[in-house]
Amino acid sequence: MANFVPAAKLSDLEATDRLLVEVDDRIVALFKVGGEIFCIDDVCTHDGGPLSDGKLDDHTIACPRHGAKFDIRTGKALTMPATVDTAAHDVKIEGDTIFVRICEAGKAAQVANPTTAGPIAATVLKASGAAEPAAGAAGDGTRSVPATMNLSEDLVREELKKVIDPELFVNIVDLGLIYNVDLVPQDDGKTNVKIDMTMTSPMCPAGPQLIANSKQVISQLPPVGNVEVKIVLDPPWTPDKMTDEARDQLGIF
């Protein structure tokens, strides 16, 4: 079973009712309801919608894409079109620190007995939803990329390696899905990032999830402004676009 890891500060949730964080290389959403904290995957099981962008009503979050509802306490899918539960994760609070233990879907989340905290392994990505971002949610030193690192195409591609195709279990860069990365400096000092991404097939069901996850990992890079991911199907993806690393992982020689 995974360990509890520090995921965020309670104070990060003072000005907002939800927060996106990365725990054990997984993007999860923290929600605060009635003084309690709950944690579920940020992915709608219907078609990959970002649940942290949905409307929260008591303990029910509605997917912003097609309206499926989930219970944030258990991850249970409550309404169509979702029929599969999303994963709910264990949460515990110690002092001002919120700890999360990653659980798999179908396992009810719980507040566990205190355990020894491991090294800081979680990254606050952003406060999400209608409320303003929480103080310290960005640029507070908890990012995985130092604020002083220069933004470059190479850095964007390196970060995109954190996005894993859920069917092939290979990152999208080594799969050859990233056709182009453009950096567009803005007057406010930020840089917009435009990514051309393809799919291994036009009907790839993982597409929305790959787009959402790509936006999430790049949005946390300083000083990124808007992140746009455009799906490009011409030229179509072919296996020869994979790197040798991807071929090794897939056992293709």
Beta strands at 36-41 and 224-231: parallel, antiparallel or unpaired: unpaired
- Work out how close the CB of 65 gets to ligand FES at its nearest, in angstroms, rounded to a whole number: 4
Residues 77-106 contacting ligand FES, CB under 6 A: 81-82
- Work out how close the CB of 218 gets to ligand FES at its nearest, in angstroms, rounded to a whole number: 21
Q: CA of 238: how far to CAs of 127, 133, 204, 208, 248, in Å?
A: 38, 41, 14, 20, 16
- Work out how close the CB of 143 gets to ligand FES at its nearest, in angstroms, rounded to a whole number: 28
Which stretch of DSSP H or E encloses residue 70? strand 69-71
Between 18 and 65, CB nearer to ligand FES:
65
Between 67 and 223, CB nearer to ligand FES:
67
Q: CA of 213: how far to CAs of 86, 115, 166, 205, 224, in Å?
A: 16, 30, 11, 14, 15
Torsion angles phi and psi, residue 116, rounded to 5: -75, 125
The answer to whether 66 contacts ligand FES (rule: CB under 6 A) is: yes
Could you tell me which stretch among 41-49, 148-156, 215-223, 231-239 binds ligand FES (CB under 6 A)?
41-49
Pairwise CA distance, residues 43 & 86, whole Å: 7
The answer to whether 49 contacts ligand FES (rule: CB under 6 A) is: yes
- Work out how close the CB of 253 gets to ligand FES at its nearest, in angstroms, rounded to a whole number: 37
The answer to whether 68 contacts ligand FES (rule: CB under 6 A) is: yes
